[in-house]
Structure formats: structure tokens, C-alpha cells
Structure 1
Amino acid sequence: MSPGAIEIRGLRVLANVGVPEAERVHAQPLSIDLELTVDLDAAGRSDDVADTVDYGAVAIAVADAVADAPVALLERVASLAADAVLDLDPRTEAVTVTITKLRPPIPRDVEATAVRLHRTRP
């Protein structure tokens, strides 16, 4: 096997995330980046989507998992996203998830805040 990567960049999702309760009441924009470690050899030879992890299905699963419940921390959002990816297709060996809060409510001029989590299949 020669591992490769499937990347999804800038998946936009509205989610109820934040430590103050007010942030969990109103959905806020997040940007999600995913990098999946996957063996791409079979798909590279066959040109058949059945031989790879479907990134459209990954995007839907992650968006659904992240938007479902109000949470306090971006770390929890990243964990939910990683679980959704690894639960979707056993061919994904590892995933790196970056969750970026696009409008963090902090009293300084900050473009965004983010957390990154790397998880491998047990």
C-alpha cells in the first residue's frame, strides 16, 4: 500500500459553538479543512469512485455531525468531525481536521481562531 491523501478545504458549516451560552444559541460560521490518509492506488488504476473514499459523502457526514448539537469547544467540534470521517469508510486510515471559527467573539482584531486534531484508526 502507498498512502495518499484526500483533502477537503474550506467546508463551510453553521454550528452552535462557544463557551458563552449566547454563542451556542445562534449558529456561527465555521470553516473545516480535512486531510484523509487513504490508499489511492486502486482508484488511480481503475478510475472508479468505488475504489476510493467518496469526498462528497465525507463532506456531508462531517457537516451533519458538526451542525447537530450545541457544543462549547472547537476541540469537541474537531472530535465530532474526525469520528464522522473514520466511521464513514474503513479505508480511511487517519484524518487531520482543522476547525476555524471565522468570527470569534474576542476583544481584539483577530481574523479567526482554529484548532487542529489528528486521529488515526485504532
Structure 2
Amino acid sequence: MTDCVLIEGLAVETIVGVYDWEREVSQRLLVDLEMAWDNRRPGRSDDVADALDYAAVSERVAARLQSLKPKLLEHAAEVLAEMLMAEFGVRRLTLTLRKPGAVPAARAVGVRIEREWR
């Protein structure tokens, strides 16, 4: 199956980082998701109940990042991937987390992971 549901550039304000000052200020993370999802059923039915609810996914990702307050983007990515697979039934995903402004000479730094339910 090659169908997927996309969420790109989801901005989440949270505590993130390893330095003492980073643990005291909120910073912006950008989340991109490509989630494998069979879109044939919602494509035929035109019923949101048959679709992967990207609004619910977005809200859950933001809430989890805000409560997690990760030190490392790698940790945040793993936690989010596990959550999306367990709570939404996503079988395969590519997740990118970016931290804009973390390195002054770069637009953003980040991590990308790919995970598949086994």
C-alpha cells in the first residue's frame, strides 16, 4: 500500500533541549508526518469516520510533546512514533522533527525516523 496521510509543519511550543536555559523556556518544534493509511475506504465513503483524523493526530502530537518536555529530539521522535502506532493504528510512518534556530547558521536542525509496525 502506498497511500498516506500527511501533516507538514505542525508547530508545537514546548520545553526541549539539554542545556539548563533550554529547560526554562519554551521553544518551537516543527513536526512532519507521513503515515501509511489505506485511503480507499474514506475515498469511497466520503465519511470522516473512515479516515485517519489528522486534526486528532495533530492535537495528540502537540499535547504529547508539551507533556514530554524532551531533552533529545531522538527521544521525542521515538515516543511519538510509538504513540501514533498504538493509539491511531498507523502501521508505518516517517516522522521528522525540526528545531528552528538551534544552530544560528542553519534554518533548522532535526531528526527523521521511519518506523513500521511488526
Q: Above 0.5 in TM-score?
A: yes
Corresponding residue of 2:24 = 25
| Number of residue-to-residue matches in the alignment | 118
Distance in 1 (CA, whole Å) between partners of 2:107 and 2:88 is 34
Distance in 1 (CA, whole Å) between partners of 2:95 and 2:66 is 15
Could you tell me which runs of 5 or more consecutive residues in structure 1 were left unpaired when the two chains were aligned: none
Q: Aligned to 1:59, what secondary structure does the other structure show?
A: helix
Percentage of identical aligned residues: 35
Q: TM-score, normalised by structure 1?
A: 0.89
Corresponding residue of 1:111 = 107
Q: Aligned to 1:80, what secondary structure does the other structure show?
A: helix
Distance in 1 (CA, whole Å) between partners of 2:71 and 2:20 is 8
Query: Do the aligned partners of 2:68 and 2:76 also contact (CA within 8 Å) in 1?
Result: no
Runs of 4+ off more than 4 Å: none
- Pairing of 1:1-122 with structure 2 (within 5 A): 2-90=1-89, 92-104=90-102, 106=103, 108-122=104-118
Could you tell me which runs of 5 or more consecutive residues in structure 2 were left unpaired when the two chains were aligned: none
Distance in 1 (CA, whole Å) between partners of 2:2 and 2:49 is 17
Q: Aligned to 1:109, what secondary structure does the other structure show?
A: coil
Q: TM-score, normalised by structure 2?
A: 0.92
Structural RMSD (CA): 1.3
